[in-house]
Structure 1
């Protein structure tokens, strides 16, 4: 993990003089001081990956984790020159926390396709019974920080950029809201006294932690942990709740069955609350199910009905029913779920009736967030924007701009001060190519990621587009026709797959004609290693991270390179 990947090396090569890597162990500090290996880190770095990073012990097999050296800060000057002395001049404008791809999972639901995980690794994860404990540990980490590590500005907002639930269940949504707002809950569905999921199926296709069976995970070194499933699913989980106002963004897993299958297929929606759980179809049937889920969802009911392997009979639970987008919004608008606020967590008071999942909100004075709904009600994994939302974004940006460019590239000037904009969505610019008509608005045009990039380039006061979906740390500069028209796309890894990150973003004015976005990754506050068999809430959260690292489907590319971690992203100020 200490090596720089080929992709990261290429990124570093393009940085030029502004992309300085410090000579000390931790690189260049935010205010221009150079820290040698023996120098103490600023206190504000504590609890972030500037201080320490989860690092595997050993070189192969199932590995435990420990605290490795923190990652240095990389200055990226592709969009503007990083001018000397800016560290002493700058003023903090806003401080935001991004959470993404939390994937709170009801691991016992009958409406899951765990058996296709050898074709699609995300269908089953050995740590999926521990998502709630992992999230609460992340909430505790955010609460423990005094603000942005560089500016020390208290957090203005937390934004969770979609795939907050894994399978759009009311149960998952309830656990999510309680974890973020504070309270105690039991992350269990079905029988109150036992776990009824694939991890005690006895099939070698899954990790069976409480059984000595030599499943494919134990052959890869996974431990046997008697008592884990009861501790994970049947024990109350208590969350302190976030202390910062938080805002919710839709992801495809919050909108579609298993993140891909459109709503409205009656037999599939009935499976959620039924008692039939398919656990081990034969390999040919599993391939047919996996193929249909991604390309021909309407064929799934007949394919599932033809499965010959006897299903498991589980305890039905009405709380597993799938929610609609309007119900998702209504739950956020319920005053009982206000938590630290705001009521609705961004959604407009009438959004439960209109179903409109996009909105704008003030992050800090002069800094506005635009929350986009990039999901497509037609289903499937990738996203797009409808015409009404696309035009609303354009109008919102125009209303906050003193100077912008019209669709023909002609400059427009207005007598008002520029508002700085940060845009948030689930999907990235490269994953917004699902232009299937929305069944609720079949005549409405859909807009792709490249079209949104073109729109954003027209507004010099757009600073960044922040997103998730890919489960990967990746920061991309988007230069414009003029230097002022460039902005950054900040993509952050999920909190279900390793490295399980969240990201802090501090917006600063360097008072020299440039702005900077200071990005810092954080991990949950669970210990890097605990004794196997420690089933305390913190112990389970630690195991959550360890299992995600060792998942047989884990992808090391999701970590990203040095230029995608702790960075200073410089850009031209539109007010210059």
Structure 2
């Protein structure tokens, strides 16, 4: 009978194997790299992951006594933050729950299945955390002049919000429907916002536990757009300036910026966690490829552009959204031309961009191991081969596959290289009798960027339609789980479901618990349940503690001018039961 396996012994064996890896061997594979901002050098797990081997399953945490199942506490089945006012800046409070919707496009549900079902897997998906160094010189806040949501008033609180999300996951009593122990957490990319080493360090520490100071540059004060005196941006500590956001009701909050860059501590996840790369993790600004030396030097320098004339703002915006400036050549011209209008900031080497190898090496750093596994899916083989895709064993009956859909050639949409696509097909064929869950950052609809990889110019790029076709030829593929769009959306594809989850930077700031069950009647079900962070729904403007900032993070995101109002999706994209043929 299919079953949910406890794999603590496998995790312990992997840890023992990791301790036997020779440090100098791994450093050589990483090119002898070392990183600033505490990222450090790599120690890795041996194996042949890049060639399609499967890593051990993550060990489940020692679960408390099983809760009554199903349960709703701490999920959107109980309550969801909702506005209490009708106009202007709207405060949030406790709102009505979102009910579960049964979707039967791929298979008919049978009566009595809830009493028959067996849990095969239970885990949590986080996506699009966008942990942001809001003082970074390469940030493009001035795009707000052209499009209102080009800058968000709440971005200084991304770390506080992510820590609160970790606290929520740790508080979950198990899978909401079956009560099965949660096995792991998977992040599906855009963990960082601007491909900066400091952001990567903050992300890894948030996930694995430890102290974080979300500040760069001057260690004693904030040096970004929110104390610039420019009415284009919310100036929370300037009572006199009627900036664009205060005119909409945004509050005056003395001490806000000091609190935003103050140190805090993440408890780290109680669960093993895995990582998938997104375009903001791989590219400057999430869109500029090619490793431009000018942009890399500008990132760590002492000059920052706070505003830009309208015509040039539009040109930079179009270069991004029409994908006509994939390597940042136009941006470089604009920055060079605006040198006289820049402001001086404190330089900081921790703002440097990180390479693909450094990204993997940072995950392999034992300082960021947390509950494991070492590397969080990535291994020494990924370092040696220059890849960021891998497989892992979810349970006896379920295989996990993490893909790299970022395009190193630049632009924010994705694709997959021919080498990786061939590896994926080999992996699916080798596991044709095993249920499979596929994870990526990009959605099928956002994989139309076929620019060549500069490091692999002969490796043809492939789009979302080809990936859908491949997955559809393997009936044991049950779901493709992703993010990128910042919107909840669930789409049927013949034999499997595509599950896209909203971000944790734009409202409604959600994560998703996913349970896979065998209904023991010829069908399976994917049960999806959305959760918010642990922050209270109601804010207190006088509370600038870490929980208070996390609550403000949600409320400011709800009120962000120009923000989309459809990101929560429809009821069928939220809390669902997705039925499949077994």
TM range (shorter): 0.7 to 0.9
**1:263 & 1:269 partners in 2: Cα distance?**
11
1:232 alignment counterpart: 260
Deviation for aligned residue 1:52: 0.5
Residue 427 of structure 1 pairs with residue 438 of structure 2: no
**Offset, 1:226:** 1.1
Q: Distance in 2 between matches of 1:229 and 1:313?
A: 19
Q: Is the 8 A contact 2:278 2:405 kept in 1?
A: yes
Q: 1:246 aligns with which of 270, 273, 277?
A: 273
Task: Report how far residue 308 of structure 1 moved.
Answer: 6.5
Question: Where does residue 168 of structure 1 map in the other structure?
Answer: 195
CA contact (8 A) 1:245 1:341 kept: yes
Q: TM-score, normalised by structure 2?
A: 0.86
Deviation of residue 557 (structure 1)? 1.0
Give distance in 2, aligned partners of 1:369 and 1:508: 15
Q: How does 1:308-319 map to 2 (within 5 A)?
A: 310-319=341-350
Residue-by-residue CA offset, 1:229-281 (whole Å, 9 max, x unaligned): 00011x21111100111010010000111000114211111111100000012
CA distance, structure 1, for counterparts of residue 219 and residue 554 of structure 2: 26
Aligned to 1:522: 531
Q: CA shift at 1:122, angstroms?
A: 5.2
1:461 aligns with 2:476: yes
Matching residue of 2:324: 295
CA deviation string 1:121-170 (max 9, x = no partner): 55421011100000000000000001110011111111000000000111
SS at match of 2:341: coil
- Distance, in Å, in 2 between the alignment partners of 1:446 and 1:186 is 39
Quote the offset at 1:75 in angstroms. Answer: 0.5
1:383 alignment partner, one of 414, 423, 426:
414
Query: How far did residue 309 of structure 1 move?
Result: 5.9
In the alignment, does 2:528 pair up with 1:501? no
The reply on whether 1:343 has 2:348 as its aligned counterpart is no
Matches within 5 A, 1:317-328: 317-328=348-359
Partner of 1:332: 363
CA contact (8 A) 2:487 2:566 kept: yes
Answer yes or no: is 1:572 the counterpart of 2:581.
yes
Which structure has the higher relative contact order (CA within 8 Å, separation 6+)?
A: 2
Match of 1:196 among 198, 201, 223: 223
**Which 10-residue stretch deviates more, 155-164 or 308-317?**
308-317
Unaligned runs of 5+ in 2: 1-67
Structure 1 pair 90–197 and aligned structure 2 pair: CA distance change class (3 A):
same
Whether contact under 8 Å (2:290, 2:454) holds in the other structure is no
The answer on whether the counterparts of 2:145 and 2:313 sit within 8 Å (CA) in structure 1 is no
Residue in structure 2 matched with residue 400 of structure 1 by the alignment? 431
Which residue of 2 is the match for residue 7 of structure 1? Answer: none
2:177 aligned partner: 150
| Distance in structure 1 (CA, Å) of the matches to 2:278 and 2:496 | 23
Cα pair 1:516 1:568 within 8 Å, conserved: yes
| Partner residue in 2 for 1:219 | 247
Contact 2:283–2:289 (Cα < 8 Å) also in 1: yes
Question: 1:353-396: CA deviations, max 9, x gaps?
Answer: 32210000011121111000000110101000001110111111
- Residue of structure 2 in register with 1:63 after alignment: 90
The CA deviation at 1:289 is 2.6
Q: Match of 1:558, SS?
A: coil
Aligned pairs (5 A) from 1:478-497: 478-479=493-494, 486-497=495-506
Contact 1:282 1:309 in 2 (8 A): no
Offset from partner CA, 1:491-536 (integer Å, 9 cap, x none):
0000000010000000000000000000000000000012102101
Q: Deviations over 1:408-432 (max 9, x none)?
A: xxxxxxxxxx211000000000000
What is residue 23 of structure 2 aligned with on the other side?
Answer: none
Q: Distance in 1 between matches of 2:106 and 2:166?
A: 33
Match of 1:23 in 2: none
Map of 2:553 onto structure 1:
544
Q: Aligned-residue CA RMSD in angstroms?
A: 1.3
SS in 1 for 2:372: coil
